[in-house]
């Protein structure tokens, strides 16, 4: 457990999607701290990938990231994947398994906690919410099966508040 920077989140509230994070800087800082703790360099490429994700409202695929970065200077997917690996280790980017895409997050994720990713099937946005109940449920299931849990993937497909309203209107 390297010293994690305790930056607390603000993305709270109903229907508030994982919006274009205004505090890209804070996320960069988080990644930088992680790098420092491991004595690894926080390189240009890593910063660029994180910045693209942090500015985006919804998950992007590795190739979408590649395309955006390539506008300024030609980049290859493998470079993006490398940066994504790092950023995921740092905990500031998650992979959405159901969509094979990636998004930045500025929450602290504590070990033993379970975070639910709510993915809107209309607009594609992702909201995250920690859930103790889910954590307990996972823990219980694992215990009962003699299973040693490492990390959970909890994704909930559905329709976000905003899209529901829009349709109602």
Which residues, numbered 46-105, are part of the site for DNA (CB under 7 A)?
46, 61-64, 74-79, 81-83, 86, 95, 100-101
Please state, as a whole number, how many other Cβ atoms lie within 10 Å of the Cβ of residue 61: 15
**Which of 54, 55, 28, 53 lies closest to 42, judged by CA?**
28
**Which of 159, 129, 164, 60 lies closest to 48, judged by CA?**
60
| Binding flag, residue 121, a copy of itself (CB under 8 A) | yes
Provide the minimum distance between the beta carbon of 99 and a copy of itself in the complex, in angstroms, as a whole number. Answer: 9
100: left (phi over 0), alpha (psi -120 to 50) or beta: left
Among 13, 44, 73, 111, binds a copy of itself (CB under 8 A): 13
20 binds, among a copy of itself, DNA, none (CB under 5 to 8 A by kind): none
26 binds, among a copy of itself, DNA, none (CB under 5 to 8 A by kind): none
Structural tokens at position 152: 């959970």
Residues of this chain that interact with DNA (CB under 7 A) are 1, 40-41, 43-46, 61-64, 74-79, 81-83, 86, 95, 100-101
């Amino acid at each position: 457990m390297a010293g994690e920077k305790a930056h607390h989140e603000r993305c709270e509230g109903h229907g508030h999607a994982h919006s274009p994070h205004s505090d890209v800087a804070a996320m960069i800082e988080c990644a930088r701290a992680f790098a420092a703790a491991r004595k690894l360099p926080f390189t240009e490429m890593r910063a660029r990938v994180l910045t693209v994700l942090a500015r985006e409202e919804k998950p992007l695929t590795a190739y979408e990231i590649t395309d955006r970065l390539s506008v300024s200077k030609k980049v290859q997917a493998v470079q993006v994947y490398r940066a994504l690996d790092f950023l995921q280790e740092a905990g500031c980017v998650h992979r959405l398994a159901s969509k094979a895409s990636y998004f930045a997050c500025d929450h602290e994720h504590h070990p033993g906690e379970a975070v639910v990713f709510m993915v809107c099937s209309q607009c594609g946005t992702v909201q995250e919410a920690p859930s103790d109940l889910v954590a307990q449920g996972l823990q219980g299931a694992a215990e009962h099966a003699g299973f040693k849990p490492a990390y959970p993937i909890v994704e909930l497909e559905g329709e976000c508040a905003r899209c529901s309203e829009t349709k109602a209107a």
